[in-house]
Amino acid sequence: MTELSTLYETDYSAWTLQTAELIRAGRFTELDIEHLLTELSDMSKSERDELASRLLILIAHLLKWEYQYQTLAERWRDFDGRSWQRTIIEQRKRLALRLRKSPGLKAVVNEVIAEVYPDAIDLAQKETRLPITTFPQNCLYNLTQLLDDDFYPNCEEEIRYD
């Protein structure tokens, strides 16, 4: 085990600083390649995990909006869906920011949507208590719709952002 490998185990922050310095200096033979590869792989996984988390919450809220909002609004005069709307807005902004910072994620968006959609249905079903069969088996929202500030499924009135 090299000194740098040991440093990875004992002082991660110092390891990252020293690794960066070795790369800047072009001293590639001294790098802790095994841990460096692990960290690079984890960075990619972390980005994808955040993308999945944002998509899961956004899709679940859009499903709730599409399949339950009108019913609740008719039943309770005071229900305006603002908390759902705030969550949808926040997730859209954070998702758009992540895709701007890491445009390479766009290549996996459809795959990630397909991965998280069953969990989004599950979340929406548990929160709404609607029958699971209420929701489509496949996600009907595309990335353009998911990021569109004006897209609220089955909403005929204009959404106000108060």
Supply the mean pLDDT for the chain: 89
In tens, the pLDDT along 81-106 reads 788 889 999 999 999 999 999 999 99
Asked whether the beta carbons of 157 and 69 are under 8 A apart, the reply is: no
Q: Which residues of the chain have pLDDT under 70?
A: 69-80, 155-162
Distances (CA, A) of 138 to 41, 58, 110, 155: 30, 15, 12, 20
Dihedral (Cα; 100, 106, 108, 113), 10-degree rounding: 90
How high is the pLDDT of residue 154? 78
Distances (CA, A) of 84 to 34, 45, 73: 44, 28, 13
How high is the pLDDT of residue 20? 95
How high is the pLDDT of residue 87? 94
How high is the pLDDT of residue 79? 59
Q: Identify the three-state secondary structure at position 76.
A: coil
In tens, the pLDDT along 11-27 reads 999 999 999 999 999 99
Asked whether the beta carbons of 28 and 36 are under 8 A apart, the reply is: no
